[in-house]
Amino acid sequence: MIDPAAHRAEVEAWREDRYEALRRDQGWLTLAGLAWLRLGANRVGSARDNDVVLPAGPRHAGTLTLSGDGVVAAGDFRHENAPADGLRIADDHEGASEPTLLELDGLRLIVIRRGDRLGVRTWDLDAPLRRDFTGIDHWPVDPAWRLAAAFEATPDRTLHVPDVLGPGYEEASPGDVVFRVGDRQHRLQAMPGGPGGELWLIFGDATNGIETYAGGRFLYTGPPDGEGGVVVDFNRAYNPPCVFSPYATCPLPWPANRLDVRIEAGEKTFRRP
The tens-digit pLDDT sequence of the chain (273 residues) is: 789 999 999 999 999 999 999 999 999 999 999 999 999 999 999 999 999 999 999 999 999 999 998 999 999 999 999 999 999 999 998 765 689 999 999 999 999 998 889 999 999 999 999 999 999 999 999 999 999 999 999 999 999 999 998 889 999 999 999 999 999 999 999 999 999 999 999 999 999 999 999 999 999 999 999 999 999 999 999 999 999 999 999 999 999 999 999 999 999 999 988
On the 0-12 / 13-18 / 19+ scale of CB atoms within 10 A, 246 is: exposed
Q: How many CA atoms lie within 13 A of 1 on its CB side?
A: 6
Residue 103: what pLDDT? 97
| Helix (H) / strand (E) containing 7 | helix 4-22
Residue 167: what pLDDT? 84
Set out the domains of the chain in order of their start, with CATH numbers: 4-18+135-257 (no CATH), 31-126 (2.60.200.20)
Q: Is 196 left (phi over 0), alpha (psi -120 to 50) or beta?
A: alpha
Residue 78: what pLDDT? 97
**Who contacts 213 (Cβ-Cβ below 8 Å, separation ≥6)?**
239, 240, 242, 243, 269, 270
Helix (H, G, I), strand (E, B) or coil at 21: helix
Residue 115: what pLDDT? 84
Q: Which of 188, 186, 206 is nearest to 262 (CA)?
A: 206
C-alpha span between 272 and 232 (Å, rounded):
29
Residue 238: what pLDDT? 99
Rg (CA), the chain: 21
C-alpha span between 109 and 89 (Å, rounded):
10
